[in-house]
Amino acid sequence: MLYTIDKPKKICPKSFSFELEDGLIRNLKFVGGCEGNLKGLARLTEEKPAAEIAELLAGVSCGSKGTSCPNELSLALKKALSQQKKKTDKSSAKSSVMNRKNAPPEKKTASSKPTGRSRAELKTPNGASRPSAASKKKKAAE
């Protein structure tokens, strides 16, 4: 996705743009500013993970401006990554809801019957075994 920052404050370039694809920076371009330095910055960041580059460039200052081209790029990358994450979260939540809507209805099971135990093996609240009515009849028949 293409991101363009027009008229960034406190830096020389008139604008800059970049693409983010699969978390990687592509086609970083500056209009105006220190041409050689900005071409170098573009080459160094090409095909690199945006999150790593954002962390590396954060806080770089240029003179007494309190910011710089690298710092403004860092801020733009962080914002772009955040926007992409929100879109991904929304789309995955939507697909999760759609999957639940399209899923077959759950089968209801009888939860009153314990699984894996015969009624004769049931325990009383104090832990003693409690024979079932069937086992009582069986004992009486013996």
What residues does 49 pair with on adjacent strands?
A: 24
- In a domain, residue 124? The reply is no
**Residue 19 contacts residue 25 (beta carbons within 8 Å):** yes
Confidence bin at 92 (pLDDT 50/70/90): confident
Top-confidence residue, 119 or 89:
89
Number of domains in the chain: 1
What is the pLDDT, as a whole number, of residue 73?
Answer: 97
Mean pLDDT of 14-37: 96
8 Å CB contact between 30 and 45: no
Inform me whether the pLDDT recorded for 120 exceeds 70.
no
Kindly state whether residue 89 falls inside one of the protein's structural domains. Answer: yes
Q: Note the pLDDT of residue 70.
A: 97
- pLDDT above 60: residue 35: yes
| Structural domain includes residue 111 | no
Q: How far is CA 25 from CA 33, 45, 91, 135, in A?
A: 20, 6, 22, 74
Domain of 42, in residue numbers: 2-96
Q: Is the pLDDT of residue 112 over 70?
A: no
Alpha helix ranges (H) inside the chain:
35-45, 50-57, 69-102, 133-141
**Residue 101, domain member (yes or no):** no
pLDDT, residue 41, reads 97
For the CA atoms of the chain, what is the radius of gyration? 33
pLDDT digits (tens, 9 = 90+) for 68-86: 999 999 999 999 999 999 8
Read off the amino acid at residue 127.
Answer: G
In a domain, 113, yes or no: no
- Evaluate whether residue 129 is within a structural domain: no
Q: What is the pTM of this model?
A: 0.65
